[in-house]
Amino acid sequence: MSTINDVSRLAGVSKATVSRVLSGSRGVKEASRLAVLKAVDELNYRPNVIAQSLLSQSTGCIGVICAQDNINQTTAYLYALEKHLSQSQKHLLLRFANSKAEVMSALDELTCGLCDDVLVIGARFPLHIDDENVILVDCVESATTTPNSIQFDHAFAAETACNYLISQGRRQIALIHPNSAAADQVLLGYKLALENNFLPFNRNLVFMDDTSSSVALQVLLNNATTLNFNALLVADEQEAQRVIPQLQAFNKTVPGDIMVFSLAGSLHLPGIPTIPAIEYSMDAMAAKIVAWLNEKTQSVLGSYRVRGDLIIPDVRKR
């Protein structure tokens, strides 16, 4: 690869002039400008970004550490992020990590000048990070105050879900949710929506402990006559996919008898009817992240919560 010295020599000007032509390009005599351009073209010269990085103390590389177990979700993140990053002339440096130790070691390797900032995505284990240049995205909240994090607004999701279901005439809403970090938030939103709609809270409709969703649903089904529930809130699309056949096995139609609602991601598989759901736009989230990275000096991210979109199944006949 040719360097700026080769170009300056061939063009018969100094390195500085070459640099000027390629960057600002202002205040250069047309003759030498042309000479430089010609030499650049002949040598197929392109400035070495590493040398530029050394000078500017920034590489334009953003590390992305994926700690996500849901592989499909990961791809959606990556695709959206890369799209926005490359639009801002930034590069996405990818790592996978499955434990706190792996995340920390990856962080170590990336923050030695290689990456300007690092995102950690989807960690389900607590992380104790105190670095201005690290953003936790969809990670469990840690005890220490992490400077920058982005989370899903689970309370908002649950509240929206309940309000939608109630608007559809479903007033007996069951809730099955694993005891994750989001559980408290979900319950909060659930209760809030019930309150606002003057509906009583029935403890028997809610399952938030560690029992499997299958068992939880079976308890609901066994007591179906007394509970009389006509809607079911589940954590995500995978749960929904598991739960619907079980309902159908007990002659419950979906959504006729029971309307199933996914609190994270809907079902788009061909042949399977779509269910109402909250969906988080990866694209919007990526846009938010990249925007913040670009104007980092001016603002503080803090603990940002993104709200999901309500997705309603298309009931029109085709």
Q: Which residues bind DNA (CB under 7 A)?
A: 3-5, 12-20, 22-24, 27-29, 31-33, 45-48, 51-52, 54-55, 57
Question: In whole angstroms, what is the distance from residue 163 CA to residue 183 CA?
Answer: 18
Q: Identity (one letter) of the amino acid at 315?
A: V
Q: Provide the minimum distance between the beta carbon of 243 and a copy of itself in the complex, in angstroms, as a whole number.
A: 14
Q: Provide the minimum distance between the beta carbon of 107 and DNA in the complex, in angstroms, as a whole number.
A: 18
Cβ closest to DNA, residue 34 vs residue 269: 34
Residue 268 contacts a copy of itself per CB under 8 A: no
Cβ closest to a copy of itself, residue 29 vs residue 46: 46
Neighbours of 38 (CB within 10 A): 13
Q: Provide the minimum distance between the beta carbon of 30 and DNA in the complex, in angstroms, as a whole number.
A: 7
State how far the alpha carbon of 298 is from the alpha carbons of 61, 165, 194, 275, in Å.
Answer: 20, 42, 41, 41
Residue 96 interacts with, from DNA, a copy of itself, none (CB under 5-8 Å by kind): a copy of itself
Neighbouring C-alpha atoms within 13 Å toward the C-beta of 186: 22
Reduced to 3 DSSP states, what percent helix, strand and coil does the chain have, rounded to the nearest 5?
45, 15, 40
Could you give the string, one character per residue 3-42, with x where binding to a copy of itself holds by CB under 8 A and - elsewhere? ----------------------------------------
**234 strand-pairing partners:** 176, 262
Q: Provide the minimum distance between the beta carbon of 49 and a copy of itself in the complex, in angstroms, as a whole number.
A: 5
Cβ closest to DNA, residue 110 vs residue 285: 110
152: its two tokens: 């899903």
Q: DSSP character for 235?
A: S
Q: Provide the minimum distance between the beta carbon of 49 and DNA in the complex, in angstroms, as a whole number.
A: 8
Can you say whether residue 25 is alpha, beta or left, with left for phi > 0 and alpha for psi between -120 and 50 degrees?
A: left
Cβ closest to a copy of itself, residue 79 vs residue 201: 79
Q: Where are the beta strands (DSSP E) in the chain?
A: 61-66, 91-96, 117-121, 134-137, 149-152, 173-176, 206-207, 231-234, 259-262, 277-279, 303-306, 309-311
C-alpha 17 chain-centroid distance: 44
Residue 113 contacts a copy of itself per CB under 8 A: yes
Binding residue (CB under 8 A) for a copy of itself from 27, 30, 31, 108: 108
Footprint (CB under 8 A) of a copy of itself, residues 37-96: 46-51, 53-54, 59, 61, 64, 71-72, 74-75, 78-79, 82-83, 86, 91-96
Cβ closest to DNA, residue 17 vs residue 148: 17
Query: Biggest alpha carbon distance in the chain?
Result: 91
Nearest to 18 by CA among 44, 43, 37, 42: 37
Task: Tell me, by CB under 8 A, how many residues bind a copy of itself.
Answer: 34
For a copy of itself, the binding residues (CB under 8 A) are 1, 46-51, 53-54, 59, 61, 64, 71-72, 74-75, 78-79, 82-83, 86, 91-96, 106, 108-110, 112-114
